[in-house]
């Protein structure tokens, strides 16, 4: 193998791929990234046997095809600390030589034959999702998942497909985020009976790997693997097993309570202020609606108390619900500060529901007020 490449472009691609490689593993080969070079170009790949990625590298001039396995730690440091615009890589079967204008390194390398296969995208039945929508689906649901729970299925985002729509759901049992958007379908639809629960870590990798310049992203399910394909990257992830909550029973229909339109930016600022005096033992903030005002009250015996007022268009009966401010802040952080959202509340014991006009909804279970 012999190539010349743009160091910055290789660094960017290597860092994306290397994030999959485990820091520790009983299989040392997994702590590496494989570089495959052919006439079509250069592809980096990594896997931890649960999540895998193949990534096409731009800015590579191929002189001789070949394969080499590169250490995440050592080769990553060479790319990161280097100052050369162009690097020259050459493998002689025993290791790899990396040359810059005023630097040269030789690294020993593992046998590429021992590196696990990372799947390519070869499916005939798949869905196409606009790249921007896919990134929003992920960003607006992964924060609500729970990797610490003993309920394995809660450590991922559930995806439900039909011919023209996809719904993403994330929950930790105390709040639930859901977003729906349009898709295209080639071939047959992913079986709705299959629990397509994608690990949170894989979803975060997909968000990073999908470029803002991408248009349509292909997604498919093959056996127990979820596959995602963009112009540069193919990501594979083993689906999670376990029972996922029936979100349709959790998510109430619109109506039956008070619905208020609130500004994202102003509400975000007010909740952050009220949360200042909360603690782990007394973490709830009272949301009191009435007399044209939303009053947010937080208090903790060992800290103090706060009262923040936010003018709103509501003059009905006074209504109070106690919520964990962290859950509200998580929701507001993924929205445009200039936008508005609908806040629906029925009573102090019912879940609060937040909705936007682009298919996004969020349910938060209330806290007991006698905290």
Domains 126-248 and 252-364 are alike in CATH topology:
yes
For residue 298, give the nearest of 333, 266, 322 by alpha carbon.
322
pLDDT in tens, 92-121: 878 999 999 989 999 998 899 999 999 999
For residue 364, give the nearest of 334, 321, 333 by alpha carbon.
321
Look up the CATH architecture of domain 2-114: Roll (3.10)
The β-bridge relationship of strands 41-47 and 340-345 is unpaired
C-alpha distances (whole Å) from 320 to each of 290, 294, 317, 323, 353 are 9, 10, 10, 10, 14
**Reported confidence tier of residue 370, pLDDT bands at 50, 70, 90:** low
Q: What are 261's two structure tokens?
A: 């339109």
**Reported confidence tier of residue 284, pLDDT bands at 50, 70, 90:** very high
**Reported confidence tier of residue 272, pLDDT bands at 50, 70, 90:** very high
The domain segmentation of the chain, as residue ranges, is 2-114, 126-248, 252-364
- The CATH number assigned to the domain with range 126-248 reads 3.10.150.10
Question: What pLDDT score was predicted for residue 371?
Answer: 46
pTM score of the predicted model: 0.91
Residue with tokens 């959790």: 250
Topology adopted by domain 252-364: DNA Polymerase III; Chain A, domain 2 (3.10.150)
Residues ≥6 apart with Cβ < 8 Å to 164: 182, 183, 184, 185
Question: What pLDDT score was predicted for residue 194?
Answer: 79
Q: What are 337's two structure tokens?
A: 């500060």
Range 51-72 average pLDDT: 95
For residue 131, give the nearest of 181, 89, 58 by alpha carbon.
181
Residues ≥6 apart with Cβ < 8 Å to 370: none
Q: What are 5's two structure tokens?
A: 């490449």
Supply the mean pLDDT for the chain: 93
Work out the number of other CB atoms within 10 angstroms of the CB of residue 171: 24
pLDDT in tens, 326-341: 999 999 999 999 999 9
pLDDT in tens, 15-48: 999 999 998 888 999 999 999 999 989 999 999 9
Let me know: does 47 contact 30? Beta carbons within 8 Å: yes
Let me know: does 345 contact 264? Beta carbons within 8 Å: no
In angstroms and rounded to an integer, the radius of gyration of the C-alpha atoms of the chain is 25
């Amino acid at each position: 193998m012999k190539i010349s490449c743009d160091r910055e472009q290789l660094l960017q691609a290597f860092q994306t791929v290397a994030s999959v490689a485990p820091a520790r593993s009983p299989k040392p080969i997994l702590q590496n990234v494989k570089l495959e070079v052919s006439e079509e170009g250069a592809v980096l790949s990594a896997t931890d046997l649960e999540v895998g990625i193949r990534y096409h590298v731009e800015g590579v001039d191929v002189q001789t095809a070949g394969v080499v396995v590169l250490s995440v730690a050592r080769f990553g440091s060479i790319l990161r600390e280097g100052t050369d615009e162009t690097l020259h890589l050459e493998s002689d079967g025993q290791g790899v030589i990396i040359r810059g204008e005023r630097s040269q390194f030789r690294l020993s390398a593992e046998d590429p034959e021992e590196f696990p296969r990372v799947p390519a995208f070869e499916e005939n039945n798949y869905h196409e999702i606009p790249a921007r929508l896919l990134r929003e689906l992920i960003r607006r649901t992964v924060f609500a998942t729970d990797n610490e729970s003993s309920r394995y299925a809660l450590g991922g985002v559930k995806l439900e497909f039909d011919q023209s729509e996809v719904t993403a759901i994330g929950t930790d049992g105390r709040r639930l985020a859901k977003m729906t958007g349009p898709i295209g379908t080639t071939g047959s639809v992913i079986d709705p009976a299959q629990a397509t629960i994608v690990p949170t870590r894989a979803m975060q990798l997909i968000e990073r790997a999908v470029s803002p310049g991408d248009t349509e992203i292909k997604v498919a399910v093959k056996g127990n693997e979820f596959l995602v394909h963009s112009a540069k990257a193919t990501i594979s992830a083993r689906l999670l097993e376990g029972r996922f909550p029936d979100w349709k029973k959790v998510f109430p229909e619109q109506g039956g309570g008070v619905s208020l339109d609130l500004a994202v930016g102003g509400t975000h600022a007010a909740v952050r202020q009220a949360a200042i005096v909360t603690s782990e033992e007394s973490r709830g903030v009272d949301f009191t609606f009435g007399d044209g005002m939303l009053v947010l009250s937080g208090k903790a015996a060992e800290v103090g108390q706060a009262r923040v007022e936010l003018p709103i268009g509501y003059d009905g009966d006074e209504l109070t619900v106690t919520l964990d401010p962290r859950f509200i802040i998580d929701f507001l952080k993924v929205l445009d500060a200039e936008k508005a959202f609908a806040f629906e509340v029925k009573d102090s014991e019912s879940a609060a529901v937040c909705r936007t006009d682009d298919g996004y909804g969020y349910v938060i279970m209330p806290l007991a007020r006698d905290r």
